[in-house]
Structure 1
Amino acid sequence: MANPLQFIQQTRAEIGKVSWPTRREVVLTTIMVLIMSALAAIFFALVDVGIRSGLQAILSFFG
């Protein structure tokens, strides 16, 4: 087990090896995530409406 000073030094060395994204990459990926989330929400809303309409049609046919 390393002492705390060695641990901090090793941690700083590993953080230095990290490839950090640029501001442009962060903005683009954020926009992409927001767009994909909106598309997924629209898709599931349409599926929900379709299932609800189908069930209402079936229940009104038998009831």
Structure 2
Amino acid sequence: MAKTNPFTFLQQVRSETAKVTWPTRRETIISTIMVFVMVAFAAAFFFVADQVLGYVVGLIMNAGV
């Protein structure tokens, strides 16, 4: 494994960081809102699915009584 001195390493890190395309503030806000909306949809879907499955299992369990 090749050893690199810390100064050279930091120069390489800095040059690689300069190549990164960072999102704009607007893109970050829109992406964050989209994540929250999708989380809300997923939570609502799984809540409804859980209620329906619970109801069906309840009907099955009470059918034998």
TM-score higher than 0.5? yes
Q: Sequence identity of aligned pairs in percent?
A: 43
Question: Runs (4+) of structure 1 moved beyond 6 Å?
Answer: none
Determine the structure 2 residue equivalent to 1:31. 33
User: Is it true that 1:53 corresponds to 2:31 in the alignment?
Assistant: no
Q: Normalising by structure 1, what TM-score?
A: 0.97
Q: Which runs of 5+ in 2 are unaligned?
A: none
Report how many residues are paired.
63
- How far apart are 1:62 and its partner, in Å? 1.0
Which letter maps to 1:20? W
What is the root-mean-square deviation of aligned Cα atoms in Å? 0.5
Q: Which runs of 5+ in 1 are unaligned?
A: none
Q: Normalising by structure 2, what TM-score?
A: 0.94
